[in-house]
A = this chain, B = another copy of it.
Amino acid sequence: MSSDLRGFELPLRLLLGFRVLIDELHEELARQGHPQMRPMHGFVFQAVMRAGGRYGATAADLGRALGVSKQAAGKTIDMLEGLGYLRPGHDPGDARRKTYTLTPHAYDALERSERIFEELRGQWAQAIGEDRLRAIVEDLRKVTPPDMFRLDTPQWFNAP
């Protein structure tokens, strides 16, 4: 674990940091009534809110937002509807659009995620210092793109 990964350590630590946060988030979410939530879902919820129009987002909207085909987005929507996180609607101005919006259950999950992330952030701040933690986020902003929602769906992202 020592000398043979000088250059490899930075990317690896970034990935591990992400995974630690996401894994702990979902362990806690499961305890708080959302055992079916997957890492991908939070991003999908965000995308549903952003990508849609006034009456919600369509599969095509979602596909564009997440960087997948509309068919793949449609399957994700079906699953989330089945889990009670999305509900169908329609756009009175365009009969083609079959829209979806977040249910209260989904907002609950988002709010809980927010709180859990803040708790985890607090733990990290305790471990490394609030200033250093803030510095990490500020620094990463300088070297990462501003658009956060093209994720190209990693598979472990979807793992149960």
Contacts and interface: CB of A to CB of B under 8 A. Distances in A.
Interface of A: 1, 4-18, 20-22, 25, 42, 46, 113-118, 121, 123-124, 127-129, 132-133, 135-137, 139-148, 151-159
* Copies of this chain, tallied across the complex: 2
Given A6-B118, A10-B133, A20-B144, 18 more contacts: A7-B115, A7-B117, A7-B121, A8-B42, A8-B46, A10-B121, A11-B25, A11-B117, A12-B148, A13-B141, A14-B140, A16-B144, A20-B145, A127-B139, A128-B143, A129-B139, A135-B136, A136-B136
Contacts of A17: 11, 14, 140, 143-144
Majority SS of interface residues in chain A?
helix
Contact of A137 (B10, B18, B145): B10
